[in-house]
Amino acid sequence: MLAHRSARAVWMAAALSLFAAEVRAQDALSPEVAALIEAQAQKIRELEARLARLEAQSGGDSAMASLPAEPGQTAAAKQVSLQSQPTAPAAPAAKPASSTTPTLRGRAQFDALIYNNDEGSKSTGTEVRRFRLGAKGDLSERLSYVAEADFGGGQVSLQDVLLTYELAPGRTLSVGYFKPPITMDELTSSNETVFLERSAYAATFFPGRRVGVAAKAWGDQWGLSGGLFGETEDSDLDTEREEAWLAAARGHVDLLPGEPALHLALSAYHTRLPDRAPGVWLRVRPETGRAPRLLDTGAFIAEEGTFAGVELGYGAGPLTLQAEGGLVDYAGAIAGPDFHGWSAQAAWRWTGEARPYDIETGVFERMKPARPLGQGGFGAVETGLRVGHLDLGDETVDGGRMTTYGVVVNWLPITRLRLSANLIQARIERLRTDPVDETLLTLRTALDW
């Protein structure tokens, strides 16, 4: 376009110059007319020179944007002239990444255990406490998934495997294999618990992961969840039995929204128990992996069970306090024992970090070092104290009573790497036998991604 206009200007200037020369030679016109024609020819020659310079500098139609408006030409007219010029097609926008691309996740926890009792018996051992691999991602704007399996302990077991649909902001519906909403300690990830193992109370009364469907809703200060679940294990179907089921619910509230957080929660479940052997059988370790199961109710038959529990929590800066307790009532034609338990713990971060409270799940989450190792700091250091009690003796069932005292030291050089030492002192009491004291020390290296 610019070259075309330059050629046209040259031809016009040449024609006018020849015409002016002819007029002067013949003196057919007045001097005023000849002067006017000469001025126009000079202007055309100046414009031609300017176009040539612009063409040499930029080339193509992009130079037109740099042309100054001619005398008498408005800015709007120049804009219209520019818009009329052909433009190069826009480059296609980059295609967004697929929403179905999964995010890999996992954790690895390696333990070393020293076990000793008051009878002089001592043993040591090591284990891969947990080694989980999984993935999570979005199937659509509102539908997400999680799938994870644990390879620790020499066997493979499913962990959370579920689909979650967002009904509305703060409202979800989940289906799959996951935890019923019972007890703060159990609902806190093992990556984020203060102690290496959950309290004996929570581990005993928690009904275990199951196939089910659950709904969850939460607001700025509250949360509510509930669901219906099947049995903990698969069995062959026959014509003489129905699968056991469990209905669970939990509600929590933050009485001091923001900082600090004051957590209060109630949880409950009712279950119809399997009508086949072995029935109910509770066996409990003293809050340490690979430790002997020091409490044992033996097997008893019950038709149903009902649990009710309460939770309290407080988090302010480097201080976290948690306490929870509850009871379970079994009912059956032969046995109907009631069991109960509780636990209380306190944690302090010496390096000042907080454990933020998550209103959606109603738990205290992981701490993140304010000054990680290698970035001008030492990482985060946390200590915790815990005491717990569990009573599995009632009526014809004598599972024993256990009281535990625990202390833990956690060092997080970076956010997802934790080195811990957890000491547990346990006392076990049974009818017609002397109390037994156990001392257990667990050292753990844990990382997650």
137 assigned to some structural domain = no
Q: How far apart are CA 37 and CA 60, in angstroms?
A: 31
- pLDDT, tens digit (0-9, with 9 covering 90-100), for 207-230: 999 999 999 999 999 999 999 999
Q: What is the CATH number of the domain that holds 242?
A: 2.40.160.10
DSSP state, 100?
T
If DSSP codes are grouped into helix, strand and coil, which group holds residue 12?
Answer: helix
Taking all residues of the chain, what is their mean pLDDT, rounded to a whole number?
84
- What confidence category does residue 239 fall into, taking pLDDT thresholds of 50, 70 and 90? low
- What confidence category does residue 120 fall into, taking pLDDT thresholds of 50, 70 and 90? confident
What pLDDT score was predicted for residue 238? 61
Type of residue numbered 411: W
- pLDDT, tens digit (0-9, with 9 covering 90-100), for 128-140: 999 999 999 999 9
- pLDDT, tens digit (0-9, with 9 covering 90-100), for 301-359: 899 999 999 999 999 999 999 999 999 999 988 778 999 999 999 999 999 999 999 99
Average pLDDT of the residues in 402-425: 98
Question: Based on the domain organization, do 14 and 112 belong to the same domain?
Answer: no
β-pairing, 157-168 with 143-150?
antiparallel
- pLDDT, tens digit (0-9, with 9 covering 90-100), for 154-201: 889 999 999 999 999 999 999 999 999 999 999 999 999 999 999 999
169 assigned to some structural domain = no
- Is the predicted pLDDT of residue 27 greater than 70, yes or no? no
- What confidence category does residue 36 fall into, taking pLDDT thresholds of 50, 70 and 90? low
277 assigned to some structural domain = yes
Question: Based on the domain organization, do 6 and 53 belong to the same domain?
Answer: yes
What pLDDT score was predicted for residue 13? 47
Question: Based on the domain organization, do 11 and 113 belong to the same domain?
Answer: no
Q: How far apart are CA 237 and CA 229, in angstroms?
A: 17
What pLDDT score was predicted for residue 242? 77
Question: Based on the domain organization, do 248 and 320 belong to the same domain?
Answer: yes
Max Cα distance, the chain (Å): 144
Q: Which residues contact 425 (CB under 8 A, 6 or more apart)?
A: 404, 405, 406, 437, 438, 439
Question: Based on the domain organization, do 316 and 416 belong to the same domain?
Answer: yes
372 assigned to some structural domain = yes
Question: Based on the domain organization, do 201 and 277 belong to the same domain?
Answer: yes
Q: How far apart are CA 161 and CA 382, in angstroms?
A: 32
Q: What range defines the domain where residue 294 resides?
A: 108-130+190-207+224-448
What pLDDT score was predicted for residue 68? 45
- pLDDT, tens digit (0-9, with 9 covering 90-100), for 93-107: 444 444 578 999 999
135 assigned to some structural domain = no
Question: Based on the domain organization, do 265 and 123 belong to the same domain?
Answer: yes
167 assigned to some structural domain = no
In this predicted structure, which of 20-34, 81-95, 205-219, 234-248 has the lowest mean pLDDT?
81-95
Question: Based on the domain organization, do 123 and 63 belong to the same domain?
Answer: no
95 assigned to some structural domain = no
Q: Given 47, 68, 83, which residue is the final one in a domain? A: 83
Share of the chain above pLDDT 90, in %: 64
Question: Based on the domain organization, do 265 and 350 belong to the same domain?
Answer: yes
Question: Based on the domain organization, do 47 and 117 belong to the same domain?
Answer: no
Q: What is the pTM of this model?
A: 0.76
Question: Based on the domain organization, do 43 and 117 belong to the same domain?
Answer: no
What pLDDT score was predicted for residue 236? 65
If DSSP codes are grouped into helix, strand and coil, which group holds residue 205?
Answer: helix
- What confidence category does residue 86 fall into, taking pLDDT thresholds of 50, 70 and 90? very low
145 assigned to some structural domain = no
Question: Based on the domain organization, do 76 and 202 belong to the same domain?
Answer: no
Structurally, the chain folds into a number of domains equal to: 2
Contact predicate 362/322, CB 8 Å: no
Query: Dihedrals φ, ψ of 330, to 5°?
Result: -95, 145
- What confidence category does residue 275 fall into, taking pLDDT thresholds of 50, 70 and 90? confident
DSSP string, 412-446: EEETTEEEEEEEEEEEEE-TTS--EEEEEEEEEEE
In this predicted structure, which of 28-32, 186-190, 281-285 has the lowest mean pLDDT?
28-32
